[in-house]
Amino acid sequence: MAEARLTVASFEELAMPLFDQLYNFANWLTQDRSEAEDLVQETYAKALKGFSSFQPGTNFRAWMYRILRNTFLTSRTGLKAMVAIDEEDASELPSGTETPESVLLQRSQEELLQNAMEALPVHFREILLLCEVEEMSYLQISETLSIPMGTVMSRLARARRALRDSLKQRLAMV
């Protein structure tokens, strides 16, 4: 019985610091807060259940991200994402040094980038998020997505190009 408590305690010690990062990744993948919460909850449940299969000394973070990603891919059909407008951002007040114009410009740039990211296919969006937002190394991304490192590098290059092209196109329409 004490051994089971130690396992759960070890899992909590490793897994809980990753909660916010996993939720952010899930939110970007699902583009829906409620789905992201469900996805993270299911990820933690699967990870705890399969914790005995985790190899100590290997990358626990990559293991958790892989579980989250696989859960996402198997739980969603068609991988259709809906754009959710975050109402809370509209209620934020600018700081004393910002002007209404600068706040509007900043928000429009953020919205432009977010819309361009959301329009990317999931395999491009996830690799950009893992590299640029989660700051994972190519090796960690390779382990997380279970793909060769060369594929990580080429997919990342194609994702960046697709994002750049999308932003150019969107900016030309403005």
CB 118 within 8 A of CB 5: no
Provide, rounded to the nearest whole percent, the portion of the chain with pLDDT above 70. Answer: 76
Half-sphere CA count of 136, side-chain side, radius 13 A: 29
The pLDDT value given to residue 23: 93
The domain ranges of the chain are: 2-75, 98-173
pLDDT digits (tens, 9 = 90+) for 88-140: 343 444 444 566 666 566 666 777 778 888 888 988 999 998 988 888 899 99
Class of domain 2-75: mainly alpha
Looking at residue 124, its pLDDT comes to 92
If pLDDT is split at 50, 70 and 90, which confidence band does 76 have?
A: low
Give backbone dihedrals phi and psi of 94, rounded to 5 degrees, phi first: -70, 155
The pLDDT value recorded for residue 174 is 64
Mean pLDDT of all residues in the chain?
79
Say which CATH architecture domain 98-173 belongs to: Orthogonal Bundle (1.10)
Stretch 21-49: mean pLDDT, rounded? 90
Long-range contacts formed by 43-48: CB under 8 A, 24+ apart: 43/67, 43/68, 43/71, 44/15, 46/71, 47/11, 47/15, 48/8, 48/11, 48/15
Q: What is the pLDDT of residue 133?
A: 83
Q: What's the whole-model pTM score?
A: 0.58
3-state secondary structure string across the chain: CHHHHHHHHHHHHHHHHHHHHHHHHHHHHHCCHHHHHHHHHHHHHHHHHCHHHCCCCCCHHHHHHHHHHHHHHHHCCCCCCCCCCCHHHHCCCCCCCCCHHHHHHHHHHHHHHHHHHHHCCHHHHHHHHHHHHCCCCHHHHHHHHCCCHHHHHHHHHHHHHHHHHHHHHHHHHC
